[in-house]
Chains A and B, each alone.
Chain A
């Protein structure tokens, strides 16, 4: 089963490198990883998607906590949450195929962001499953180039993950 982890990191030199190097060294399988700014200056947020069948989620959390600049790690998989991935895809689109593609994009709430005589770039943000379905549908048209950012996630409701920094059982030592 896939797990989505959210981690808060202090913006110190090498903190991202340390995390990624840890995953490599311990043989953790990371499906996607994104990092970006947060509401607090000096703190970044990392979202990880892990295949829990091949990698021990508990070990990922505990090993991340051992990094001095990791403040908090949460497995949000079981919490109600919003998970989003962003897709840019360049599709082969001769004039005869354009309207069909635009219809599909419309159904998914995707945006056409660039059109040239025989290609079209589409932008879509949504859950990873939604993106998968969309990509499957447009694949027959001929995908020329594609990129996905990987997931970011946030739990629903008023509480935040940055509350108290560490939960007792996973504190670094």
Chain B
């Protein structure tokens, strides 16, 4: 019988799983795999400049395509460089498979050169992981890994393969099914519970839907819309839920939470039934827990039973897949109209939640940039943001119209995410306009990837919001730490010259009137383009709920409140 090396089996398994691209970086312990790779031209390999970027790119790919993203690294430092991206994928439920080389079996446990206990390190940040030291296990392990990564609540799975296992030979037979008696995700919500949820919603006077990442992960945007339209219930979208409903939809209200809108947080506090689906009541959403949604009965739909009842008391828990539960619910819920309630929220919105900055203001702020984005791009784009002030503004101010067009690091809040993630997005959507938006700080955490962008001819549009500060931290220092700007002012290189060194054209924009021109120029460029927006240095993101405070206590101007009164825990 024909035998293959372990490395060849790994490639065959990837093909069997429908993988066509991976992001990686070679090294000693993964060399047999890289040796086999050229024999499989259908597997595209993108060489990054740092393994963290391979992980984020795999995430970006998965976050847009809905397919499993794959990243590859060598043992020891290669694997530890993946750790941040794996943790990021774990927090945001992103299906990726990380493949790492491990030292030869005889050296495992002996502190061999570049040996790291990778399965140990990644245990709390993977959905599951494997160390493979027997070539006969490879097909089963790959089958299980992809199955676990993409089903149920998706998440990262790591496969650590000893170098001698990659070299060993065996018969390759890829299993058709998995045998995991302890892993059986529940997709169909309990019918009685769904009925009860429908009853509650039918009777509700001021119902509210809080839609999270689960809608996007479960490809349930259409179902969500149909449900909202039939019942007339308005929808709020968490940071990771953004783009699951077109933001110009009459029932779409915007984002809740720490930097959510006043009218949205007010709606949470006033609603009588809060129907939460695919969201996990993160503290950035709820603020002080015991005053969150205090007038509401909560219905919670989630694919992960452990999320239900974890943070808030739930009147109706439903464990199931967003799409199936919504389909069923839409079928049995009564058609309804809640325009009075929606109008009430819209009135608050009109007075308290301004998407635009005061046009009189002479300052050049990200508001101008994002307003032009929305105006010029008309929803035809995919945006990857980094972490910080520019991220919150991009969530608040840009209008997203189609699913999976807003990609950001939510749960982990990983600076350095935008550029590599955008590479993965661009690879998944080669013919679409993809923008990476980063702060001056976060951009410098993974700027080495400009080289990958060029080598792979990715036509990414890169946008740096340069405020000369680690802005979000500076904002907290201003508000909660006596304006002591400790380690937040940040010098940066000439970003345009830097881009030029990579052969990437770019412009610097310092005035609001030049924003549109720069965006047009970027779009007209066939290939990557970089814009540096040099914005007002000390502008804060508002509205805001102070950390640990109730979402009832939002402020839009620090002079509105005594900070000490609203800060519970920092």
Residues on A facing B (Cβ under 8 Å): 10, 13-14, 17-18, 21-22, 25, 58-59, 62-63, 65-71, 165-166, 168-173
For the complex of A and B, the 5 pairs showing the least CB-CB separation, nearest first, are A173-B152, A62-B306, A173-B185, A173-B304, A71-B182
Any chain A CB within 8 A of the CB of B131?
Answer: yes
Residues on B facing A (Cβ under 8 Å): 119-120, 123-124, 127-128, 131, 148, 152-153, 180-186, 190, 303-306, 309-310, 319
In the complex, what residue of chain A is closest to B144 when comparing beta carbons? A68
From A13, A25, A59, A68, B182 is in contact (CB under 8 Å) with A68
In the complex, what residue of chain B is closest to A43 when comparing beta carbons? B181
8 contacts between A and B (CB under 8 A): A17-B120, A58-B309, A66-B304, A68-B148, A68-B180, A70-B182, A71-B181, A173-B152
Q: Give the residue among A10, A14, A166, A171 with the most B Cβ atoms within 10 A.
A: A171
If A21-B123, A58-B309, A62-B305 are given as contacts, then 11 extra A-B residue pairs at C-beta distance below 8 Å, sorted by A number, are A10-B182, A17-B123, A22-B124, A59-B310, A65-B306, A68-B128, A165-B181, A171-B319, A172-B184, A172-B185, A173-B186
A173 CB contacts on chain B under 8 angstroms: 152-153, 185-186, 303-306, 319
A172 and B182 in contact, given A58-B309, A59-B306 (Cβ under 8 angstroms): yes
From B127, B148, B305, B310, A170 is in contact (CB under 8 Å) with B305
A63 CB contacts on chain B under 8 angstroms: 306
In the complex, what residue of chain B is closest to A60 when comparing beta carbons? B306
Q: Is the CB of B182 within 8 A of A67?
A: yes
Interchain pairs with CB closer than 8 A, number? 64
A14 CB contacts on chain B under 8 angstroms: 119, 123
B185 CB contacts on chain A under 8 angstroms: 171-173
From A13, A66, A68, A166, B306 is in contact (CB under 8 Å) with A66
B127 CB contacts on chain A under 8 angstroms: 68
B131 CB contacts on chain A under 8 angstroms: 13
In the complex, what residue of chain A is closest to B151 when comparing beta carbons? A173
Min CB distance A50 to B, Å, is 16
A166 CB contacts on chain B under 8 angstroms: 182, 184
A62 CB contacts on chain B under 8 angstroms: 305-306
A171 and B306 in contact, given A13-B131, A71-B181, A165-B181 (Cβ under 8 angstroms): no
In the complex, what residue of chain A is closest to B131 when comparing beta carbons? A13
How many angstroms between the C-alpha atoms of A17 and B117 in the bound complex? 13
A18 CB contacts on chain B under 8 angstroms: 123
How many angstroms between the C-alpha atoms of A63 and B124 in the bound complex? 12
B184 CB contacts on chain A under 8 angstroms: 166, 171-172
Min CB distance A36 to B, Å, is 18
From B119, B123, B124, B152, A172 is in contact (CB under 8 Å) with B152
B148 CB contacts on chain A under 8 angstroms: 68
How many angstroms between the C-alpha atoms of A142 and B355 in the bound complex? 75
Q: Is the CB of A168 within 8 A of B186?
A: yes
Q: Is the CB of B183 within 8 A of A68?
A: yes
Min CB distance A25 to B, Å, is 5
B182 CB contacts on chain A under 8 angstroms: 10, 65, 67-71, 165-166, 172
From A17, A21, A169, A172, B183 is in contact (CB under 8 Å) with A172
B303 CB contacts on chain A under 8 angstroms: 173
Min CB distance A63 to B, Å, is 5
In the complex, what residue of chain B is closest to A173 when comparing beta carbons? B152
How many angstroms between the C-alpha atoms of A101 and B55 in the bound complex? 65
A169 CB contacts on chain B under 8 angstroms: 190, 305, 319
How many angstroms between the C-alpha atoms of A172 and B303 in the bound complex? 9
How many angstroms between the C-alpha atoms of A70 and B184 in the bound complex? 11
Min CB distance A80 to B, Å, is 27
Min CB distance A62 to B, Å, is 4
Q: Give the residue among A165, A166, A173 with the most B Cβ atoms within 10 A.
A: A173
How many angstroms between the C-alpha atoms of A66 and B184 in the bound complex? 10
How many angstroms between the C-alpha atoms of A59 and B152 in the bound complex? 18
How many angstroms between the C-alpha atoms of A17 and B152 in the bound complex? 23
Min CB distance A129 to B, Å, is 31
B123 CB contacts on chain A under 8 angstroms: 14, 17-18, 21
A171 and B124 in contact, given A14-B119, A166-B184 (Cβ under 8 angstroms): no
How many angstroms between the C-alpha atoms of A41 and B184 in the bound complex? 22
A65 CB contacts on chain B under 8 angstroms: 182, 305-306
How many angstroms between the C-alpha atoms of A68 and B147 in the bound complex? 12
In the complex, what residue of chain B is closest to A8 when comparing beta carbons? B182
In the complex, what residue of chain B is closest to A9 when comparing beta carbons? B182
In the complex, what residue of chain A is closest to B187 when comparing beta carbons? A173
Q: Is the CB of A21 within 8 A of B124?
A: yes
Min CB distance B187 to A, Å, is 9
Q: Give the residue among B184, B304, B305 with the most A Cβ atoms within 10 A.
A: B305
A165 CB contacts on chain B under 8 angstroms: 181-182
Min CB distance B190 to A, Å, is 7
A172 CB contacts on chain B under 8 angstroms: 152, 182-185, 305
In the complex, what residue of chain A is closest to B153 when comparing beta carbons? A173
How many angstroms between the C-alpha atoms of A69 and B120 in the bound complex? 16
B119 CB contacts on chain A under 8 angstroms: 14
A58 CB contacts on chain B under 8 angstroms: 309
How many angstroms between the C-alpha atoms of A21 and B117 in the bound complex? 15
In the complex, what residue of chain B is closest to A15 when comparing beta carbons? B182
In the complex, what residue of chain B is closest to A62 when comparing beta carbons? B306
How many angstroms between the C-alpha atoms of A22 and B306 in the bound complex? 13
Min CB distance A56 to B, Å, is 8
B180 CB contacts on chain A under 8 angstroms: 68
In the complex, what residue of chain B is closest to A69 when comparing beta carbons? B182
Min CB distance B9 to A, Å, is 20
In the complex, what residue of chain B is closest to A172 when comparing beta carbons? B183
Min CB distance B298 to A, Å, is 16
Min CB distance A38 to B, Å, is 14
In the complex, what residue of chain A is closest to B302 when comparing beta carbons? A173
In the complex, what residue of chain A is closest to B186 when comparing beta carbons? A171
How many angstroms between the C-alpha atoms of A66 and B185 in the bound complex? 10
A168 CB contacts on chain B under 8 angstroms: 186, 190
Q: Give the residue among A58, A68, A70, A170 with the most B Cβ atoms within 10 A.
A: A68
Min CB distance B119 to A, Å, is 7
B319 CB contacts on chain A under 8 angstroms: 169, 171, 173
Min CB distance A153 to B, Å, is 21
How many angstroms between the C-alpha atoms of A59 and B148 in the bound complex? 21
Q: Is the CB of A10 within 8 A of B304?
A: no
Q: Give the residue among B119, B183, B319 with the most A Cβ atoms within 10 A.
A: B183
